[in-house]
Amino acid sequence: MGVGSQFLVNFRHATLHIYTTTSWYLASQAKNQMTTDLKGLNARETEQWAVDNGLEPYRGRQIRRWLLTRLALSFDEMQNLPKTIRALISEQALIVPLQEVTTLASEDGTRKYLFRLHDGHLIESVLLPERDHLTLCISSQAGCAMGCRFCLTGKQGFKRNLTPSEIIEQVVFIKRSLSEPERLTNIVFMGMGEPLANYDAVIRALENLIAEDGMNFSHRKVTLSTCGLVPEIERLGHDTTVNLAVSLNAADDATRSSLMPVNRRYPLKLLIQACRGFPLPNRRMITFEYILIDGVNDRDQDALNLTRLLSGLRAKINLIPLNAAPGADMSPPPMKRTLQFQEILTDHHFTAIIRKSKGRDILAACGQLTGTYAE
């Protein structure tokens, strides 16, 4: 079956699900108003929740371990808790797993997961195979309000922010589905949405993802990508130690504003100033993502402007030829042009990598996530 046919089958399948999950949605909404989603709490808050419900603090630690380390999908799985305690916490807390709508597999091994949230909104996550590990690209919002011209997610508009637990549940679901879950070592916040526009929820999710008593991902292997929300970049450097990636895409304000409306609020001078002040311990660098678009930002002068803009910064540049979609009014440059652009950067002593986008045949590559079905 071709990709187009697969999408059509999945579309019909998903439409059926939307109409048959109304009662599930209403029930979960009613319970949400009365109970606590524990995956959104940190260690101290989970212990306090246990105390507030008449339990010893260590019970909170046990519950947290079941949720974030052992990836329990129900309180009944928590077999080292007495039945009476399991009954109590099932009344006062909830676990709301994501509902898998469909999963598409690319010819290069990439897998794209479409999930339904409890209120019916759809999000996507992408699992990327690397040579010796797996990287998971997760979403932080349903839709996106940033309106970047080259991004299909932005064309869907903004639906809502994800909760901390909905962010974490993407990792839980996919890790549970793997035959070798230990191979999943890297997390990138590069899916649907602008992570820094959902700042508090993302920080809470990050805390549980990298905590030793949480999911225990290395902070060195977690990367957050932003289109350039300057105040939140400044906060991020103080609140967490994960890696920062900036979607740059132009080295002058006129071009960047035409591609990314956020640049009108936070022009390049403010953005680069925030990047220069971002803490970079242990030889780490900021990754600048530069989507190359034929005739728009791929000239030699654009490359030279980029070297001047990033001069003195500990920077790595990911060059990403545009992943065009049907009906798009822009296209990637020829490979010769891409290589010449890279050569100018390397001649000026920058690390510049041409990133091969994975999952393009299933619309899973950078800028292609929509959270919708296509016939």
User: Given 227, 234, 366, 375, which residue is catalytic?
Assistant: 366
Q: Where are the domains of the chain?
A: 3-94, 99-362
95-136 confidence digits (pLDDT tens): 989 999 999 888 888 999 999 999 999 999 999 998 899 999
Statement: residue 298 has pLDDT above 50: yes
Higher pLDDT, 72 or 10: 72
Grade residue 359 by pLDDT with cuts at 50, 70 and 90. Answer: low
- Residues 83-115 as b/e (b if ≥16 CB within 10 A, e otherwise) read eebbebbeebbbbbebbebbbbbbeeebbbbbb
Q: Residue 27's pLDDT is what?
A: 41
pTM of the entire predicted model = 0.87
SS3 state of residue 229: coil
pLDDT at position 364 over 60: no
Whether the CB-CB separation of 361 and 351 falls below 8 Å is answered with: no
Exposure of 351 in the CB half-sphere (CA atoms within 13 A): 9
Q: Which of 187, 160, 224, 165 is nearest to 45 (CA)?
A: 165
**Does residue 366 carry a catalytic annotation?**
yes
Choose among 319, 240, 317, 316: nearest CA to 283. 316
For the domain spanning 99-362, the CATH number is: 3.20.20.70
Domain 3-94 belongs in CATH node 1.20.1560.10: no
**91 has catalytic annotation:** no
Tokens 């839980």 found at: 172
Q: Write the secondary structure of 312-354 as one string of H (helix), E (strand) and C (coil).
A: CCCEEEEEEECCCCCCCCCCCCCHHHHHHHHHHHHHCCCEEEE
- In tens, the pLDDT along 27-71 reads 444 444 457 899 999 999 999 999 999 999 999 999 999 999 999
Candidates 56, 107, 124, 275; catalytic one = 124
Backbone angles phi, psi at 40, to 5 degrees: -90, 0
Q: What is the structure's pLDDT at 35?
A: 73
CA 323 from chain centre, in angstroms, equals: 18
Tell me the per-residue pLDDT of 181-204, one tens digit each, with 9 for 90 and over.
999 999 999 999 999 999 999 999
pLDDT digits (tens, 9 = 90+) for 333-353: 999 999 999 999 999 999 999
Q: At what angle do helices 164-177 and 199-210 cross, to 10 degrees?
A: 40
What pLDDT sits at residue 5?
A: 38
